[in-house]
Amino acid sequence: MDDDGKRRQFTRVVHGGKRDAQAALDELKAKVSGIVENDETVSDYLDGWLKWKATSVSHQTLMNYVSAFNVWRPLIGEIKMEELNSSHIRKVIPALLDGRSKRTVYQYMIMLSVAMKSAVIDGLIAKNPLSGVDRPRWRPTERRALEPAALDELWTNIEMVDDGSPQRIAFLLMIDCGLRCIECRKLEVGCVSDGFLIVGESKTAAGRGRRIPLTKRMSRVLEEWIEWRGEIGASGALLVHPDGQPLSQRSLESWWWAHRDKWGCGDITPHGLRHSNLSRMARHMGAHDLMRWAGWKDISMALVYVHDDDQQLLNAVERMQNGA
């Protein structure tokens, strides 16, 4: 009302859709009616957002959000939502980077940004506080292959993770069998036969799946997994979550990002584990056998791993002279 006690119409232009207009109206009503200031903190909001998100994402995706938010809570959790802005985020970036890779922090920022976008839509905040913050940049270079001892240590660390996840099995397969991510995801029930892993997704010239001999430790792990897998269905993908959902590329990568730093592998990608296995196997086989092992269509890639070695030629001549 104006000074004469008459009602005065107030018009405000809102850019966006119907939800944006409704959010602006709700905000204006709150100001006009003198509603008490909102005391909801960032931590409170994230709790509610996770409950809402749980109805639309897989269990693994939800756990990834929970893990990321648990890192954010000690840093910004007590700040009121209506007061949160970009400066709060910028101040805590150094703390986030302490002991974590830039790529990991980048993922944490993406996850928080998703939640904050919902807060903007709901009219809780006017602007996403992460929209004005530069995310860490990194060059996705491939570190040298892990040495056999380091690779075996990583195997032990991964095997000790008792979370019942298919990601655990996938990374053990990359370490011991040199599988690609997509090959792990496409393994079918029944892929293990007579000590061999039958890999259907192959780039071999013949266009057939390849047979990879299993190590004793990998055979043991797969036997235990297959026994559990049979309890939820006799057919379909081998690597599935407890709810029966197949393993996705996103959940595979997120699992690795969540664990790799504590194992000293902050600059190792999932593909880096395959690279490490192939480098290891190249010490024990020739280029043609490595081509078959890796599933390449020709020998050119194998020659990158297998280096000229005069001793191999000398050994071949010696075997020939001995009548072998």
Q: How many CA atoms lie within 13 A of 313 on its CB side?
A: 4
Q: pLDDT exceeding 70 applies to what percent of the chain?
A: 82
How do residues 238-255 score in pLDDT, each as one tens digit? 999 888 888 888 889 899
4 CB-near residues (< 8 Å, 6+ apart): none
**233 DSSP 8-state letter:** -
- Describe the strand order of the beta sheet including 192-193 as a list of residue ranges: 192-193, 196-199, 210-213
CA-based nearest residue to 147, from 289, 285, 277: 277
Query: What distance, in Å, lies between the first and last C-alpha atoms of the chain?
Result: 105
Predicted confidence at residue 95, as pLDDT, reads 92
Region 178-191 average pLDDT: 91
d(CA 140, CA 135): 15
- The C-alpha angle 299, 301, 303, rounded to 5 degrees, equals 70
Q: Percentage of the chain surpassing pLDDT 90? A: 46
Exposure of 136 in the CB half-sphere (CA atoms within 13 A):
21
- Identify the band that residue 117 occupies on the pLDDT scale cut at 50, 70 and 90: very high
C-alpha 254 chain-centroid distance: 2
How much is the pLDDT for 14?
64
Task: For residues 151-171, give the mean pLDDT.
Answer: 94
Would you state the pLDDT for residue 292? 92
- pTM for the model stands at 0.56
Nearest to 232, CA basis, from 219, 249, 245? 245
User: Distance (Å, rounded) from C-alpha 51 to C-alpha 5?
Assistant: 46
d(CA 298, CA 300): 6
The confidence score (pLDDT) of residue 167 equals: 96
Q: What is the pLDDT of residues 196-227, one digit of tens each?
A: 999 974 444 444 578 999 999 999 999 999 88
Q: What is the pLDDT of residues 118-147, one digit of tens each?
A: 999 988 899 999 988 998 876 655 456 899
Q: What is the 3-state secondary structure (H, E, C) of 47-102?
A: HHHHHHHCCCCCHHHHHHHHHHHHHHHHHHCCCEHHHCCHHHHHHHHHHHHCCCCH
Render pLDDT for 3-60 as a digit per residue (tens, 0 to 9). Answer: 454 555 556 666 667 776 776 666 665 554 444 356 899 999 999 999 999 998 888 7
Mean pLDDT of the region 249-272: 89
Dist CA 216 CA 225 (whole Å)? 14
Which of the 8 DSSP states describes residue 230? G
Q: Residue 111 pLDDT more than 90? A: yes
Counting every residue, how long is the chain? Answer: 324
- Better-predicted residue by pLDDT, 230 or 142: 230
Q: 308: number of CA atoms within 13 Å, CB side?
A: 1
pLDDT of 324: 59
Mean of per-residue pLDDT scores for the chain: 84
Is the pLDDT at 274 greater than 90? The verdict is yes
Return the pLDDT at 293.
94
